[in-house]
Structure 1
């Protein structure tokens, strides 16, 4: 495999994702980071402990914000999937090994599936627990009837999905940093800069 990478002077001519898809990538990344941090904080401390620490009003705002983030991420991920399917994927500026291509496809596939699935599972768990599914202050219709036993299983699945997303993100970010360090322009495909 060649290590003769394109020079800085040709960076603007290298293949890249469209600007809208690059913006969606980084916007979703930021929102997902906040959602994961907030979700694990809420899940670890639990409602009663959160209320003890910050009071009922702030606790309710925290849960509403987490639900709103989830629904927003779901909408943006569906939009991103549509844009990507319509536009396709640009080629790499350098040749990647078969293993690198396989891992890239696997990690991206897993991220798409899990990041779309986690807010759906969270919304189902919330409805099954008898809590409102909020988007900001709007209460959305419950997708399933109240069922405490099912809610417990769904909340557990929601937490496991969050842990799996973090594990796959570690691989994704690690690979991105490796490409950045190598200077092989793979990160250029998704970067916001020129």
Structure 2
């Protein structure tokens, strides 16, 4: 049986697209955090919410493709601790990419606001307005940000270590720019 050496074309592309959308949503959230209420902040909030919903959709697609396609096994050069560390970081990143958008939507809903997707559709609040629950989900949403930076940092540093120090195929296997 031939061993698969790369992730599927779909997974490779969803990885980079999802990563860019996720980072864009994160950056917008940080930028708008200290802004005064006003039209500029509301415009950024609109895009932030839209990107968050896009992240949730892209994660769902990635998980479906993950189940559908065969995954390459770890390279022989990877130490057991590296394989486990990569799995833990990957699982934690998936959790963050699910919890952040969901907590954001729930925060909006409990504060009485909809969550819109680039003006194409709107998820009207499906819960009763609640100041306490709105603040709870806002706390969860904001508390995830430092963890997100740690996980993204570990993910990027790990990929760069494999590419520039170990000089192995780890980064190439997930790159949408690689052939195959």
TM-score, normalising length from structure 1? 0.84
Task: Identify which of 96, 102, 110 aligns with 1:120.
Answer: 102
2:25 aligned with 1:35: yes
2:128 aligned with 1:145: yes
- Higher RCO, Cα 8 Å, sep 6+: 1
Give the superposed CA RMSD: 1.6
2:77 aligned with 1:95: yes
Instruction: Measure how far apart 1:23 and its partner are.
Output: 0.3
TM-score, normalising length from structure 2? 0.90
2:169 aligned with 1:179: no
Task: Identify which of 68, 72, 77 aligns with 1:86.
Answer: 68
- Segments of 4+ in structure 1 off by > 6 A? none
User: How many equivalent pairs are there?
Assistant: 174
Confirm or deny: 8 A CA contact 1:42 1:50 kept in the other structure: no
Confirm or deny: 8 A CA contact 1:121 1:158 kept in the other structure: yes
CA–CA separation in structure 2 for the residues paired with 1:41 and 1:154: 19
Which structure has the larger Rg?
1
After TM superposition, the structure 1 = structure 2 runs for residues 1-194 of structure 1, keeping only pairs within 5 Å, are 15-43=5-33, 45-46=34-35, 49-51=36-38, 56=39, 58-137=40-119, 138-181=121-164, 182-194=166-178
The C-alpha deviation readout for 1:5-61, integer Å capped at 9, x for no partner, is xxxxxxxx9700011110000001111111101111222x15xx152xxxx2x3322
Higher mean displacement: 92-101 or 65-74: 92-101
**Unaligned stretches of 5+ in structure 2?**
none
Instruction: Measure how far apart 1:110 and its partner are.
Output: 0.5
The C-alpha deviation readout for 1:117-169, integer Å capped at 9, x for no partner, is 11011000001111221112232121322101111111111011122111111
CA–CA separation in structure 2 for the residues paired with 1:150 and 1:133: 16
